[in-house]
């Protein structure tokens, strides 16, 4: 009797990489995680391929892994590359210049299984459209809020890749002219304000510029995280709550711009920072609707992913592998 076909989905994040073996019904049978913080590409690839082989071995009794789909920052679906990824340390050369890495071929050559790659946020969008709150939607924008800000744009039921595979870098649209320095080399990118690291940056600025009492003042400013700010906000800390409101308004203004080019049914938020929705939602919606053209006011839904953080990107990446 032939073994059932399985695939693997891999979500490459700025801090960690999550792997999962998926069956045809979308069940994640086995999962594991490795760090993404290695400095050398060779070290990261060794760690990743070891984890891939371990999961394949674990899944042997359930079926055969036929293909691997990878969602990665600046992953290019057309070329199988990771190119100029600012938040991956191992994607830089010895001169600290971002590289073009033929990642899909590199992994395929080591593990001997076909590999496809796409942008990590595109993978999350596919996962949400197939298994989550976007099921049945044909026009929506997925925004991933993690170490950076990613986006997957779906129009007419299809991911928008553009002519070169790089469409949908909404985290690197400039929202504040001459604003904060971004890892991409430009200033004022949305990512520098509304990622988890951007929120921590806002906290440091607020603490330095103001005299408000805050639970955050007991922490080392350089070590403050978005979770610290969330924890303070849940305790009623006014400065922490204001940090989220400030962040939400910037998101809302940016989302109004995004609506103007694709008229999505909904904007869906996913990732660690989305867990702070009780402090973000009102500010996002207010700022978005204030800045929308009249034809869209009150029509665009703001939704939050219904999938576990790890599942959406793993499932979306794995969907690529069924086509291999």
**pLDDT (tens digit, 9 = 90+) per residue, 25-42?**
889 999 999 999 999 999
Confidence of residue 183 (pLDDT cuts 50, 70, 90): confident
**Is 137-305 CATH 3.30.420.40?**
yes
Average pLDDT over residues 252-269: 97
Whole-number Å distance between alpha carbons of 129 and 172: 24
Assess whether pLDDT exceeds 80 at residue 1: no
Statement: residue 310 has pLDDT above 80? no
The confidence score (pLDDT) of residue 6 equals 97
pLDDT of 196 higher than 70:
yes
Averaged pLDDT score across all residues of the chain: 94
Quote the pLDDT of residue 2.
Answer: 66
Tell me the HSE value of 163 on the side-chain side, using a 13 A CA sphere. Answer: 0
What's the whole-number mean pLDDT along residues 130-138? Answer: 92
- Domain borders along the chain are 5-126+310-321, 137-305
Tell me what pLDDT residue 48 has: 98
Q: Catalogue the long-range contacts made by 46-52 (C-beta closer than 8 Å, 24 or more residues apart).
A: 48/10, 48/17, 48/19, 48/107, 49/107, 49/110, 49/111, 51/17, 51/19, 52/8, 52/10, 52/19, 52/107, 52/111
| pLDDT level of residue 73 (50, 70, 90 thresholds) | confident
Bigger pLDDT: 184 vs 276: 276
Confidence check: pLDDT of 152 > 90: yes
Q: Tokens 């899944």 belong to which residue?
A: 59
Q: How confident is the model at residue 96 (pLDDT cuts 50, 70, 90)?
A: confident
Nearest to 52 by CA among 116, 110, 13: 110
Percent of the chain with pLDDT strictly greater than 70: 99
Q: Examine domains 5-126+310-321 and 137-305 and report if their fold is the same.
A: yes
| Confidence label for 13 from pLDDT (cuts 50, 70 and 90) | confident
pTM of the entire structure? 0.85
Is the pLDDT reported for residue 141 higher than 80? yes
Per CATH, the number for 5-126+310-321 is 3.30.420.40
């Amino acid at each position: 009797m032939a073994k059932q076909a399985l695939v693997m989905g891999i979500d490459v994040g700025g801090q960690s990489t999550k792997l999962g073996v998926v069956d045809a019904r979308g069940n994640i049978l086995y999962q594991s995680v490795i760090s993404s913080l290695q400095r050398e590409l060779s070290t990261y690839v060794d760690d990743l391929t070891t984890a891939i082989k371990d999961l394949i071995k674990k899944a042997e009794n359930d079926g055969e892994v036929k293909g691997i789909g990878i969602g990665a920052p600046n992953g290019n679906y057309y070329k199988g590359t990771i190119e100029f990824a600012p938040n991956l340390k191992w994607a830089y050369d010895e001169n600290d210049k971002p590289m073009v890495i033929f990642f899909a071929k590199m992994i395929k050559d080591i593990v001997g299984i076909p590999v496809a790659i796409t942008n990590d946020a595109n993978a999350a969008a596919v996962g949400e459209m197939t298994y989550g709150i976007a099921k049945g939607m044909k026009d929506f924008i997925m925004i991933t809020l993690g170490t950076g800000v990613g986006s997957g744009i779906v129009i007419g039921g299809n991911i928008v890749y553009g002519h070169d595979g790089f469409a949908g870098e909404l985290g690197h649209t400039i929202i504040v002219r001459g604003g904060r320095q971004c890892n991409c080399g430009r200033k004022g990118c949305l990512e520098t304000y509304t990622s988890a690291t951007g929120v921590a940056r806002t906290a440091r600025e607020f603490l330095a510029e103001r005299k408000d009492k805050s639970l955050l003042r007991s922490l080392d400013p350089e070590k403050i995280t978005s979770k610290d700010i969330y924890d303070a906000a849940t305790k009623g800390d006014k400065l922490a709550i204001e940090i989220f409101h400030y962040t939400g308004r910037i998101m809302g203004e940016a989302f109004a711009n995004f609506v103007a080019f694709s008229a999505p049914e909904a904007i869906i938020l996913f990732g660690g920072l989305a867990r702070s929705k009780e402090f973000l939602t009102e500010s996002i919606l207010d700022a978005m609707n204030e800045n929308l053209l009249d034809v869209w006011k009150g029509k665009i839904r703001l939704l939050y992913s219904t999938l576990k953080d790890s599942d959406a990107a793993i499932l979306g990446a794995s969907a690529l592998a069924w086509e291999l």
